[in-house]
Chains A and B, each alone.
Chain A
């Protein structure tokens, strides 16, 4: 009966490798979808630089997701998925409050960096509970990948021209009253 369902949560002490892989897929999926949403918001609100960067993040997260799906298929084929999107929230996806109209590309990159750091912290924290050695191995890899991602974003940041000195000022029109 659907009425009895409660929003489930994850017990990491008994998490199987299959569920762990599926969870990793969902984490990437969530990040991809969020970047997509944020990019769309920024397009709607005429903030093209940041929007373009988030669109790029959509592609990156999608790539990660595909890689993980492949890994999962190799190990478990089409065995049914045991975890759901509703079990996680904002693991690698930036929070909704991270974006602003007229934010700069630099700010967008900083947002992504923060999200990679957040994901790293997530794996560090759940690893305390994980007992299954295969799951441990997977999560350690994922944790370390987050560090690599951070480095990539940092390198991009370094390539950007120096920050706009007026960056913190919002000079745009206010919202249209209705």
Chain B
């Protein structure tokens, strides 16, 4: 067997996570190290983009190039990174609030452009960093500091949302199943196009007991064990409806025939147009009025 070029520990930075002891994000980070090592790209060829939130601190804990941006904007920023340098491996991570509330408007467009990006949402159904307010994935009725009498609204279903927008790769994982989670992250990264993994990553400080890893261990079910065919988009949508009730892990949908990525089309266009380039000092001659 070949020794891997990079081991999980090569992706671990010296910065110590500030997360609360027991936070689900520690496991996610560990899974990510493993997935990156399995992929084997050197850390300096990885760009890791996030928004703001506890979860969004994650790029700093890796040895990759990181960009811990502003709340909700990781998706457009990551698209700029990837289009500027398609050779990079670009991973995005953030929270449920970052991704589906303030950044929600960007999701459809990231999906439809089909740029080869991997988006990991660390879904804890709460706003961790701002201390426990309602999030767009909080279950209806949840009592939080901003919903002391219980929330009146239904949560977003991130899985259905992504499937409906047409994402080519949609999966769900939990750090309660570390090997499963890191394999899913790896598979998502390998998928040539926009890929999404919803990671149920509990908040120990503000989360409910039934959302913790111990509860996950009791109730998680792999989609494979249900006999799900991950090339069947409709079946995937049907199963995704159970978000918030069941904890299904695995690949909901993976497009068996991935369409060309946006950046590959960009490359073709650049190649075709480059013949028409003018020398720098002749650019203005295009405006001469003959």
Contact = CB atoms under 8 A, between A and B. Distances in A.
A100 interface: yes
A5 B39 contact: yes
Nearest to A7: B38
Contacts of A40: 16
B17 A41 contact: yes
Contact of A97 (B18, B34, B214): B214
Given A40-B16, A97-B213, A7 B178 contact: no
A85 B8 contact: yes
Nearest to A34: B30
Nearest to A44: B16
B280 to A, nearest CB: 37
Interface string B107-119: 0000000000000
A38 interface: yes
Nearest to A170: B205
Contacts of B205: 174-175
A177 to B, nearest CB: 5
A96 interface: yes
B99 interface: no
A7 B21 contact: no
A9 B179 contact: yes
Contacts of A2: 4-5, 39-41
Nearest to B7: A85
Interface size class of B (residues with CB under 8 A): 35 or more
B249 to A, nearest CB: 15
A8 B40 CA distance: 13
Given A41-B21, A99-B21, A178 B130 contact: yes
B222 to A, nearest CB: 15
B39 A96 contact: no
Interface in A26-47: 37-38, 40-42, 44-45, 47
Contacts of A97: 22, 24, 27, 202, 204, 212-214
By secondary structure, the A interface counts as loop
B179 A7 contact: yes
A1 to B, nearest CB: 9
B288 interface: no
Contacts of A98: 22
Nearest to A95: B213
A96 B40 contact: no
Contact of A96 (B9, B16, B27): B27
Contacts of A38: 21
B20 interface: yes
B82 to A, nearest CB: 18
Contact of B21 (A5, A47, A177): A47
Given A5-B38, A40-B16, A175-B131, 9 more contacts: A2-B40, A2-B41, A3-B190, A41-B17, A86-B4, A86-B8, A97-B204, A100-B21, A177-B131
Interface of B: 1-5, 7-9, 16-24, 26-27, 30, 34-35, 37-41, 52, 128-131, 175, 178-179, 182-183, 186, 190, 202, 204-205, 212-214
CB-CB nearest 5 A-B residue pairs:
A2-B40, A96-B26, A99-B21, A97-B213, A89-B178
15 contacts: A2-B4, A6-B183, A7-B182, A82-B1, A85-B7, A85-B9, A86-B37, A86-B182, A95-B27, A95-B213, A96-B24, A96-B26, A175-B20, A177-B129, A177-B131
